[in-house]
Chains A and B, each alone.
Chain A
Amino acid sequence: MSSPTTGRRSRVTPARVGLYALLISSAAFFLLPLYVMLATSLKPMEEIRLGQLFALPLHVTIEPWRQAWASACTGLECRGIQVGFWNSVKIAVPSTIASIFFGALNGYALSFWRVRWAGALFGVLMFGAFVPYQVMMYPLVRSLAAVDLFGTLSGIVLIHTVFGMPVMTLLFRNHYAGVPSELFKAARIDGGGFWRIFFQLMLPMSLPIIAVAVIMQLTNIWNDFLLGLVFAGRENLPMTVQLNNVINTTTGERLYNVNMAATVLTSLLPLAVYLVSGRWFIRGITAGAVKG
């Protein structure tokens, strides 16, 4: 009746072949833009003018990459996308640290300390996560301008910290909800105060969740366009805004290879974070799905 092979899981059936065919063609659809980006960025302009989007470069050149990094123009300034890169570093690093600190602090205070008005505030904060930025944009511009923070590095860091607060607070609150309250009570009996328990017990216990938070905030803030455009000011425009300026406001011949090299460069950090972090990245997504 049954041949010896039927028990094996990986039988070659038509359904199985169809399944792999579908998976592989989907993978091709998802990978195509990445391939086009890389291939275009390594071609000289003469090859691009042939209109062979999917062809491999005949003469590989890294000149577009050098140009994109060091001499591509935005308006009159031709110092390349590196300007935006360093601006993004200056914005993303302090914003990530600050938003995680406040998220952890809020989550800890909400989970272990009885503060009467805190629950209601937390509820509003969760709604705040969904308010479109455009609704808050103009009043925030006016308020920051009133205290001379509009168009400054501190201003944009403050904005990212404030807008990162809902998700970060939720992430840490859910994490601390899983910490046994006996542990907290024992620390209290040993004479630990609010800050001591936070810094010496809770934060060191939260390293895995802090890693998830770093992944989320770093990629979100790096990829932000709208907030950087409005609040960062001319001197601090992040890489995404500069990239868009390089590509969409050029006059004269469009250097598609340089454009694609600049696009890859801008995506490099979040892609690297994604590839290195893997499952942690997915944990961040599901946590961001507001499970409160």
Chain B
Amino acid sequence: MAAQLALLPMAITVLGVYIGTVLWSLRISFSSSKIFPTNDFVGLAQYQRLFNTERWIVSLQHLVVFGVLFIAACLVLGFLLAVFLDQRVRGENALRTVFLYPYAMSFVATGLVWQWMLNPALGIQSTVRSLGLPGFEFDWIVSQDKVIYTLVIAAVWQASGLVMAVLLAGLRGIDEALWNAARIDGVPRWRYTLSVVLPQLGPAFGTAFVLLAVGVVKVYDVVVAMTQGGPGNASEVPAKFIMDNLFNRANVGLASAASTVMLLTVLALLLPWWYGRTVQSRREVRG
């Protein structure tokens, strides 16, 4: 009895917050709600309107560009850092601390620091110019075409240490005897890393990928802090589109449709991973 009572808060959270609010949002997304939710149901009209809204389409495009570059760069950089650190280097602890500290910082602080460093008038651009390269151009943060890449730089700086930590843990789990055997057979180290180590890191890569991908879909703070979605709407992202339509533009129905699309995206990313893990653990049980 006491156990059931103790689990009551969890039950209320799951049913009320995680299931209840999602269903409620879903319901709103099928209605014509503006400032307040109404019971005037309009089918998929909000979804149609959503995908005819240029700002939403642009946000999605930005998210794809940002997501692909961010995840690829984080995985590559994180993998390289982990492999380098795994070579019995001096000062490993200090280096690991340096690579991971940005992850302890908030997205807001990250966005603000990079906003300052990339400031064209006083930041990196002007500094390099005054060092004797007057033609140096690095004004991406105010450029419609390139601002999205500045978000990638800041986010990679913040999160690649996480990939490093996850992969390093995976590397430490690989049997040292494998390398000794490969070395005796005359296999060079890089070849060993590519064909033996990399495949064994599969699950660790999967975990890192999911963590990064879910972060991509939710990306919001760093955009608000660094560019506010600008210049123009050149760095708008879906999470910001939803927040603006919920609280500033009184488009609750449209925002709910957008958030449903966001949820479906997360599920699409998550289910294959979840399925893969389940299959894998079943295999392990069978031996």
Interface of A with B (CB < 8 Å)?
9-10, 19-20, 22-23, 26-27, 29-34, 36-37, 40, 48-54, 102, 105-106, 109-110, 113-115, 117-118, 121-122, 124-125, 127-128, 130-140, 142-143, 162, 165, 169, 193-195, 198, 219, 222-226, 230, 240-241, 243-244, 247-248, 256, 259-260, 263, 266-267, 270-271, 273-275, 278, 281-282, 285-286, 289-290
In the assembled complex, which residues on chain B have CB atoms less than 8 Å from the CB atom of A30?
98-99, 101-102, 157, 161
A-B pairs with lowest CB-CB distance, top 3: A194-B2, A51-B126, A128-B18
Closest residue of chain A to B241 (Cβ to Cβ) is A134
* Contact A240-B106, Cβ < 8 Å, known A51-B122, A115-B7, A133-B218: yes
Contact with A along B165-176 (1 / 0, CB 8 A): 110010000000
* Contact A194-B116, Cβ < 8 Å, known A30-B99, A136-B22, A281-B104: no
Indicate if B108 sits at the interface (CB-CB under 8 A): yes
Closest Cβ–Cβ distance, residue B241 to chain A (whole Å): 9
Indicate if B50 sits at the interface (CB-CB under 8 A): no
* Contact A106-B7, Cβ < 8 Å, known A282-B165, A285-B162: yes
Closest Cβ–Cβ distance, residue A162 to chain B (whole Å): 5
Binding site secondary structure of chain B: helix
A105 to B10, CA, bound (A): 10
Whether B116 pairs with A256 at a CB distance below 8 angstroms is yes
In the assembled complex, which residues on chain A have CB atoms less than 8 Å from the CB atom of B17?
128, 136, 140, 162
Closest Cβ–Cβ distance, residue A236 to chain B (whole Å): 17
* Contact A53-B126, Cβ < 8 Å, known A244-B225, A248-B228, A266-B109: yes
A-B contact count (CB 8 A): 250
Whether A26 pairs with B11 at a CB distance below 8 angstroms is no
Whether B21 pairs with A139 at a CB distance below 8 angstroms is yes
Indicate if B89 sits at the interface (CB-CB under 8 A): yes
Closest Cβ–Cβ distance, residue A165 to chain B (whole Å): 6
Indicate if B234 sits at the interface (CB-CB under 8 A): no
Closest residue of chain A to B260 (Cβ to Cβ) is A135
What are some 30 contacts across the A-B interface (CB < 8 A)? A10-B90, A36-B117, A51-B122, A53-B122, A124-B18, A128-B13, A132-B218, A132-B266, A134-B255, A135-B21, A135-B259, A140-B17, A142-B37, A143-B21, A165-B10, A219-B104, A222-B106, A223-B106, A225-B220, A226-B243, A243-B108, A244-B108, A260-B116, A270-B104, A278-B93, A281-B100, A282-B169, A285-B162, A286-B166, A286-B169
A188 to B90, CA, bound (A): 51
In the assembled complex, which residues on chain A have CB atoms less than 8 Å from the CB atom of B114?
33
Closest residue of chain A to B273 (Cβ to Cβ) is A290
